Chain A
Amino acid sequence: GAGVSQTPSNKVTEKGKYVELRCDPISGHTALYWYRQSLGQGPEFLIYFQGTGAADDSGLPNDRFFAVRPEGSVSTLKIQRTERGDSAVYLCASSSGAGGVADTQYFGPGTRLTVL
């Protein structure tokens, strides 16, 4: 595709429910990143995939958060037992993976999650 796409664009859920957020990276990009952005804050790193494997999941806040990328393309961020504090915009980014730390990350439009 032309850019990183994320679905849904908005998700409203009730406290305690389970949600899945999807990210479709730029075609051919091997690296994929999830961030969370709260109002008035910068993006906060959650997890980074290189291919199918999570290369760094040190940003996941607790075990309610989990992400997968089974075929090395689309990724799903899964949040169990949602809490009001999980409300934020969840951003996905992808990069070619070829340049290592010099890789440019291209961000998607984000999914705005609201937990009531």
Chain B
Amino acid sequence: QKEVEQNSGPLSVPEGAIASLNCTYSDRGSQSFFWYRQYSGKSPELIMSIYSNGDKEDGRFTAQLNKASQYVSLLIRDSQPSDSATYLCAVNMSGAQKLVFGQGTRLTINP
């Protein structure tokens, strides 16, 4: 079992719809969870961090964390073509400072 798993996609969503990205992790003791956006040929950009169970909203983005089920998700409302990118889920495993990444989900927003 991989430490952090994401559906690699591609995930295709029409413009204006809600895009839903999911991630599961193996270490039950993990405390910090992050979503990065990576455009083709660019480096990852931090867009959301979440540390407690529940929802965290920032503009059009909502991160959701469920530690009991060991999953974290990212919702993008009113999707725009500029949201087309690869979204990387990253987790700080317990006792470690390193980030463990999933392989990323490629998201395409269709105009």
- Tell whether A pairs with B: no
Chain B contact residues, CB within 8 Å of chain A: none
Chain A contact residues, CB within 8 Å of chain B: none
